Structure 1
Amino acid sequence: MSTTQAAPVLTEEAVRQFVTRWYEALDRHDPVDEVERFLASEGLVMHFPEGTSEGLDGFRSWYDAVTHRFFDETHTVASVDTVTTGPDSAEVKVVVNWQTSVWTPPAARSQWLGFDAYQTWTVVVENGTLRIRTYTVDGLKAMPGSAEL
Structure 2
Amino acid sequence: MPSANTEPLTPESIRAVAEEWYVALDRHIPLEETFPFLVDDGLEMRFPEGTSRGHAGFAEWYKAVTHRFFDEEHTVTKVEAVIEGDRATVQVLVNWQARIWDAPAAKSAWLGFDADQTWVVVAGADGPQIKTYIVNGLEPMPGSAAL
Q: Check whether TM > 0.5.
A: yes
- Residue 55 to residue 7, structure 1, CA distance change in 2 (3 Å): closer
Deviation at 1:104, TM superposition (A): 0.4
Aligned equivalents of 2:100, 2:124: Cα separation in 1: 35
What is the TM-score normalised by the length of structure 1?
A: 0.92
Aligned equivalents of 2:93, 2:134: Cα separation in 1: 11
Alignment match, 1:13? 12
Instruction: Say what the alpha-carbon RMSD is for the aligned residues.
Output: 1.6
Q: Residue 105 of structure 2: which of 104, 107, 123 is its match?
A: 107
Deviation at 1:87, TM superposition (A): 1.3
CA contact (8 A) 2:43 2:131 kept: yes
Instruction: State the Cα deviation string for residues 6-55 of structure 1 (Å, max 9, x = none).
Output: 99630001101110000000000000000111001210000001111011
Aligned equivalents of 2:72, 2:78: Cα separation in 1: 18
> Which runs of structure 1 show a deviation greater than 3 angstroms over 4 or more consecutive aligned residues?
5-8
What is the TM-score normalised by the length of structure 2?
A: 0.94
Alignment match, 2:58? 59
Alignment match, 1:135? 133
The one-letter code sitting in structure 2 at the alignment partner of 1:130 is P
Alignment match, 1:122? 120
Q: Residue 144 of structure 1: which of 134, 142, 145 is its match?
A: 142
Pairs aligned (count):
144
CA contact (8 A) 2:7 2:126 kept: no
Give 3-state SS (helix, strand or coil) of 1:35's partner: helix
Deviation at 1:137, TM superposition (A): 0.2
Q: Percent identity, please.
A: 54
Structure 1: unaligned runs, 5 residues or longer: none
CA contact (8 A) 1:9 1:128 kept: no
Structure 2: unaligned runs, 5 residues or longer: none
Alignment match, 1:34? 33
CA radius of gyration, larger in? 1
Of 128-137 and 113-122, deviating more is: 128-137
Give 3-state SS (helix, strand or coil) of 1:58's partner: helix
The one-letter code sitting in structure 1 at the alignment partner of 2:130 is I
Higher relative contact order (CA 8 A, sep 6+): 2
